[in-house]
């Protein structure tokens, strides 16, 4: 995908701040530190546009990025980060739940899991929950550069089994370091937006 424009639009804490131009939205979900913001920067070819950090819990609001005046990526706060106060966690949960359940513009979710590890309970719960409420999900295994290419299949097999993906469900290996998977993910996005 050729990126002609990519811009940060708003850090939303609730529906009042969501954009009103009706462009389709794609939400990024996954554990804290799995690489959601890094993936977005790679997809948009804009280093540092989405703020990243080696410390989990960097993204705390719904951050909207408009790309090619065609879609919004919505960068989510990560789940499963223990050090965040309970009340804050509940607040995050509500905001995310309301967005996922009610946002008309949401077309699908990109769920990120770390290629090195079996999906966590939270990952499975998130995946199942999206399925239950009928939100299509594209699963991406991040940090592909952290293991040898020869071991990808073995690791993606575990992810497929744990999330109970069907044979024809896409599972894309991605690396924000090398750009692995970027074209494939853009292909999947464009295909789904055309449907």
Query: Which residues in this chain contact ligand GTP in the complex, by CB under 6 A?
Result: 30, 32-38, 52-54, 56-59, 77-78, 142-143, 145-146, 175-177
SS3 helix, strand, coil % of the chain, rounded to 5?
35, 25, 40
Q: Token digits for 4?
A: 């002609």
Q: From the CB of 175, what's the least distance to ligand GTP, in Å?
A: 4
Spatial separation of the C-alpha atoms in residues 113 and 173, rounded to whole Å? 10
Q: From the CB of 142, what's the least distance to ligand GTP, in Å?
A: 5
Q: Which does 156 bind (CB under 5 to 8 A by kind): ligand GTP, Mg ion, none?
A: none
Q: Which residue is nearest to ligand GTP (CB)?
A: 78
Spatial separation of the C-alpha atoms in residues 48 and 191, rounded to whole Å? 27
> By CB under 5 A, is residue 37 in contact with Mg ion?
yes
Compute φ and ψ for 8, nearest 5 degrees: -75, 135
The number of CA neighbours under 13 Å toward the Cβ of 17 is 12
Q: Choose among 15, 9, 10: nearest CA to 67.
A: 9
Q: From the CB of 87, what's the least distance to Mg ion, in Å?
A: 21
> By CB under 5 A, is residue 59 in contact with Mg ion?
yes
Spatial separation of the C-alpha atoms in residues 62 and 98, rounded to whole Å? 12
> By CB under 5 A, is residue 137 in contact with Mg ion?
no
Q: From the CB of 99, what's the least distance to ligand GTP, in Å?
A: 15
* 107 or 143: CB nearest ligand GTP: 143
Q: From the CB of 70, what's the least distance to ligand GTP, in Å?
A: 22
* 137 or 175: CB nearest ligand GTP: 175
What SS3 class is residue 108? strand
Q: How many CB atoms lie within 10 A of CB 120?
A: 17
* 4 or 155: CB nearest ligand GTP: 155
* Site residues (vs Mg ion, CB under 5 A): 36-37, 58-59
């Amino acid at each position: 995908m050729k990126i002609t424009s990519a811009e940060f639009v708003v850090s939303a804490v609730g529906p009042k701040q969501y954009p009103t131009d009706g462009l389709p939205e794609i939400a990024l979900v996954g554990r804290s530190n799995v690489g959601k913001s890094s993936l977005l920067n790679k997809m948009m070819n804009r280093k540092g546009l989405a703020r990243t950090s080696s410390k989990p819990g960097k993204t705390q609001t719904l951050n909207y990025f408009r790309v090619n005046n065609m879609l919004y990526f919505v960068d989510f706060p990560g789940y499963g980060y223990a050090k965040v106060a309970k009340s804050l966690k509940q607040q995050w949960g509500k905001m995310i739940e309301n967005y996922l359940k009610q946002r008309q513009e949401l077309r699908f979710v990109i769920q990120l899991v770390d290629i090195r590890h079996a999906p966590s309970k939270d990952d499975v719960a998130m995946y199942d929950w999206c399925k239950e409420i009928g939100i299509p999900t594209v699963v991406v295994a991040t940090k592909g550069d952290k293991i040898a290419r020869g071991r990808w299949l073995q690791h993606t097999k575990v992810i497929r089994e744990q999330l109970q993906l069907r044979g024809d469900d896409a599972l894309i290996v991605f690396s924000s370091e090398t750009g692995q998977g970027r074209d494939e993910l853009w292909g999947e996005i464009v295909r789904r937006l055309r449907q």
